[in-house]
Chain A
Amino acid sequence: MTLDHIGPVATDGANEGQAIGASRRAFLKAGLAGGGFVLSFSLPTFALRATAGTPAGFEPNAFIRIGSDGSVTLTMPQVEMGQGTYTSIPMLIAEELEVDLTHVGVEHAPPDRKRYGNPGLGGEQVTGNSSSIRAFWDPMRRAGATARVMLISAAAKRWKVNPSECHAERGEVVHKASGRRIKFGALVADAAKVPVPEKVELKRPDEFKLIGTPAKRLDTPLKVNGKAVYGIDVRPPGVKIATLAQSPTFGGRLKSVDDKAARAVKGVRQIVRLDDAVAVVADHMGAAKKGLAALIIEWDHGPNAKLATQDIEKELEQATLGAGAVAQQIGDVGKAMTGAANKVEAIYQVPFLAHACMEPMNCTVHVRKDGCEVWVGTQVLARAQDVVAKTTGLPLDKVVVHNHLLGGGFGRRLEVDGVARAAQIAMQVDGPVKVVWTREEDIQHGVYRPYWFDRFSAGLDEKGMPVAWNHRYAGSSVAARWAPPFFKNGLDPDSTEGAIDLVYALPNMRVEYVQVEPPGIPTGFWRSVGPSHNVFVVESFMDELAAAAKKDPVQYRLALMDKSPRAKAVLQLAAEKAGWGQPLPKRSGRGVSVQFAFGSYMAQVAEVEVSKDGDVRVRRVVCAVDCGAVVNPDTVRAQVQSAVIFGISAALFGQITLKDGRVEQTNFDTYRVLRMSEAPLIEVHIVQNTEHPGGLGEPGTSAIVPAVINAVFAATGKRLRKPPVDPAELRLA
């Protein structure tokens, strides 16, 4: 296993290699480069830009190289941020190629969205939206199978036997009848000359040896001995360390800086002034922080100087009083509501949330006259390159970006504000400079999960079942800024995921969305994105309907799920494994949620205990997941455990609030996240099937929040409609 964290990846060899057997329509091309057999293939990308035409000729965007020593190297567009993709994607190749997983090395792809764009994300070079396995499931396996077929052909030709008499196993081609074997490495030159087969047969699920079997993660050993290199760890020769203060209000400007005391700090080298920020450059972060604290800074607080969360709340509330863009309409809600036996209404709000990745934002940049180098851990390599070119005025091809491991992404590293900031600072510094944000800066200058305001009404029939469902909500559309082509007619697929196409069959349903961009606070994708909000409100309101009908929340849901057998199955499984219905002590309760999101079905049962003082403790979480074919079951379990903890932090503690235009939270004392002593037992039950894989990095987060809040209702009878949990509301009098 090799991981190239440090240098740029040389993929040019693949292009220079003699191209043999390429056809105009082929998605694969074979060649010989650097003494190895290189299979270049192009993943089907859907151009994000409307203007992008069909590329002329063959544009490979992924490469498998088999060396004469038998080593297999995959140049891969996805980044590792803890989700295990450096293990699960090589598993797809290794499975079809018939090599040991440990023999597959991974290299980061350089920034180039034309080549490395993610087919599931509009061709952007992005790691996100739980999409890696979903998008690469077919093409990666096909590439592996193609290479195997070509190696077998080469061996058969050499032995003068029929290829059908040969098979591949553990990096060798075997001719069973004669007992002959030859290693892949010895075949590379010949294999490169074999015409690329038009069609290859992929393994049937019952033939899988690796897929579906727990695999050891390939990126782990360096992460337990301090040798793994994250963005924050790079040390190009002569690097200086900078830390910064950005305008405490969004949109404010720097008025003046008295840097006399800061300059006197030992190790401080330079003070860099920007329009809306100031940075201290020093020999080490200790000196940079001390220097920053010694600055006397005056800010012009700008147009948002008085902004408070309540202002945003009011604006959103107002917006939900008018009509929105219709995201889904089924039947006639108005008519059904008039004829309903009972009516239920509720208003929900969800707060701004920060990502608080363990690795604070950072980026290292070295600007020279004729070019520049960037070292960063990012989910969007090509965007990082773009923004540095734009900031420095250098041509794109003069900006070299080295990507590194990410100390958490969760959506924060889909943004390049920190990269642009580092480039601005580096333009004023001679030599490389590593810009490291303090935790306070990281929390107070985030790109936050939007605040949403939701208005619900439902009509129930005499039996208490919903005959009308009316949902209107207002909030920021992240997609409208981040991927504008996806925002059409006032709607985008992210803002509506989880609010429409429910797992429930509702005869009359109307869902409207009102896009409102809050002033003075940037919004972005946050683990489980749109569903982080929609699943919470839908599953909370469904619970309210069950309560109004005086029915069991699980039975009530199941009665509406006949058209979603996979959703029904996970709900039944989770309820059964959780011991749903079995008695619990006083002030304890179970809550449930079920969802279809990111291509996966999931149900969760959370068991909580509420103290006299109103503190909520999540004791146990039972999760049932159907994510189609499972590549690495251990990664599925790990991702669900992770997503559940992430979501509990949000349900119990998470909120970013504004006062006087500033974020009030600063560090892990005021922006609490779950700790070891508060972590529940988590059980993950995986439904076995062979459906197309669904995403797994995020569903656990959107599912847990309503499960916890519904459990609090079961334990206390209090319906919380505005997370996080406020213990004061749950305190015993």
Chain B
Amino acid sequence: MAYALKVNGTTHTVDVDGDTPLLWVLRDVLGMTGTKFGCGMALCGACTVHMNGAPIRSCVTPVQSVGGAAITTIEAIGNTAAGRKIQKAWLDLEVVQCGYCQSGQIMSASALLASNPHPNDSAIDDAMSGNICRCGTYVRIREAIKHAAKSTTTVKEG
């Protein structure tokens, strides 16, 4: 069946089974490979995208459940104020190593910052503990979120 999906402001029509996880529609059907596959069971967070601004695990989100919701992926998170701050903090503090999990980390962190501009350690733990990083960049992710929260850059919501 065909589904109309609003991804990063553009509507795409895809013809897949309704139980197909959004992750595979993004990666394999729409060719947006920035969103990563890690576990397929919402255990690692690599596939995190935003649905109407809230972080979701796209590997367990059936495409039929998305409806008309606005999906935002790593490819467009830089168009949001929080996303841009987080990306910049990630570069400033040299968070990234292999980088594979970082799309998901950045999506979770951006959602956190958008809803809580000054998160404390426990808020960071709550928001970020669903995202696994095998390179162990946790120390820097925590610092970078705090760094982003402190940054005074005001950017227009895109």
Query: Which chain A residues border B39 with CB–CB below 8 Å?
Result: 439, 667-668
A679 touches B43 (CB 8 A): no
User: 23 A-B pairs, CB-CB below 8 angstroms?
Assistant: A82-B96, A220-B96, A223-B96, A223-B102, A224-B99, A225-B34, A225-B75, A229-B33, A230-B100, A266-B16, A284-B28, A358-B46, A358-B101, A358-B135, A407-B101, A410-B134, A644-B136, A646-B134, A668-B44, A668-B132, A675-B132, A676-B131, A678-B129
B94 touches A634 (CB 8 A): yes
A289 touches B129 (CB 8 A): no
Name the contact of B133 in the complex, choosing from A219, A229, A283, A358 (C-beta under 8 A).
A358
B87 touches A224 (CB 8 A): yes
A84 to B23, CA, bound (A): 29
Q: A267-B17, A407-B99, A667-B41 are in contact. Are A217 and B24 (CB under 8 A)?
A: no
A82 touches B99 (CB 8 A): yes
Query: Which chain B residues border A241 with CB–CB below 8 Å?
Result: 28
Q: What 7 pairs across the A-B complex have the smallest Cβ distances?
A: A226-B34, A645-B136, A82-B98, A407-B100, A223-B99, A82-B97, A284-B28
Query: Which chain A residues border B98 with CB–CB below 8 Å?
Result: 81-82, 357-359, 405-409
Chain B interface main SS type: loop
A702 to B139, CA, bound (A): 19
B128 touches A642 (CB 8 A): no
> At the interface, yes or no: B53 with Cβ under 8 Å from chain A?
no
> At the interface, yes or no: B137 with Cβ under 8 Å from chain A?
yes
Query: What's the least CB distance linking B101 to chain A, in Å?
Result: 5
B90 touches A286 (CB 8 A): no
Query: Which chain B residues border A180 with CB–CB below 8 Å?
Result: none
Q: A286-B24, A642-B97 are in contact. Are A266 and B17 (CB under 8 A)?
A: yes
A285 to B17, CA, bound (A): 12
Query: What's the least CB distance linking A527 to chain B, in Å?
Result: 10
Name the contact of B43 in the complex, choosing from A285, A638, A643, A668 (C-beta under 8 A).
A668
A359 touches B31 (CB 8 A): no
Query: What's the least CB distance linking A598 to chain B, in Å?
Result: 18
Residue of B nearest to A241 (CB): B28
A356 to B96, CA, bound (A): 18
Contacting B at CB under 8 A, from A404-422, are 405-410
A406 to B100, CA, bound (A): 8
Query: Which chain B residues border A232 with CB–CB below 8 Å?
Result: 33, 36-37
Query: Which chain A residues border B103 with CB–CB below 8 Å?
Result: 226
B135 touches A285 (CB 8 A): no
Name the contact of A681 in the complex, choosing from B31, B97, B139 (C-beta under 8 A).
B139
B34 touches A642 (CB 8 A): no
Name the contact of B139 in the complex, choosing from A228, A410, A641, A675 (C-beta under 8 A).
A641
Contacting A at CB under 8 A, from B122-147, are 124-126, 128-142
Name the contact of B129 in the complex, choosing from A285, A405, A436, A675 (C-beta under 8 A).
A675
> At the interface, yes or no: B20 with Cβ under 8 Å from chain A?
yes
> At the interface, yes or no: B32 with Cβ under 8 Å from chain A?
yes
> At the interface, yes or no: A669 with Cβ under 8 Å from chain B?
yes
Flag B69-87 by CB within 8 Å of A: 1 or 0 each: 0000111011000000001
A285 to B140, CA, bound (A): 33
Point out residues on A near B: beta carbons under 8 Å: 81-84, 216-217, 219-221, 223-230, 232-233, 235, 241, 265-267, 283-287, 289-290, 356-360, 405-410, 436, 438-439, 634, 638, 641-646, 667-669, 673-679, 681-682
A286 touches B43 (CB 8 A): no
A436 to B40, CA, bound (A): 12
Query: Which chain A residues border B78 with CB–CB below 8 Å?
Result: 225
A81 to B99, CA, bound (A): 9
Residue of B nearest to A84 (CB): B97
Residue of B nearest to A232 (CB): B37
Name the contact of B90 in the complex, choosing from A224, A267, A357 (C-beta under 8 A).
A224
A634 to B95, CA, bound (A): 10
Query: What's the least CB distance linking B110 to chain A, in Å?
Result: 11
A676 touches B138 (CB 8 A): yes
Query: Which chain A residues border B132 with CB–CB below 8 Å?
Result: 358, 668, 673, 675
> At the interface, yes or no: B21 with Cβ under 8 Å from chain A?
yes
B136 touches A407 (CB 8 A): no
A286 touches B16 (CB 8 A): yes
A285 to B135, CA, bound (A): 26
Residue of A nearest to B137 (CB): A642
A82 to B95, CA, bound (A): 11
Residue from B27, B34, B134 having most chain A Cβ neighbours under 10 A: B134
Query: Which chain B residues border A638 with CB–CB below 8 Å?
Result: 94, 97, 137, 140
A285 touches B134 (CB 8 A): no
Given A82-B98, A226-B73: 10 more A-B contacts, CB < 8 Å: A226-B75, A235-B33, A287-B16, A358-B98, A358-B101, A439-B39, A439-B44, A642-B136, A645-B133, A679-B136
Query: Which chain B residues border A634 with CB–CB below 8 Å?
Result: 94
A673 to B130, CA, bound (A): 11
A284 touches B96 (CB 8 A): no
A676 touches B129 (CB 8 A): yes
Q: A220-B94, A224-B102, A439-B41 are in contact. Are A290 and B134 (CB under 8 A)?
A: no
A285 touches B41 (CB 8 A): no
B16 touches A267 (CB 8 A): yes
Query: What's the least CB distance linking B79 to chain A, in Å?
Result: 11
> At the interface, yes or no: B38 with Cβ under 8 Å from chain A?
yes
Query: What's the least CB distance linking A213 to chain B, in Å?
Result: 13
Query: Which chain A residues border B28 with CB–CB below 8 Å?
Result: 241, 283-286
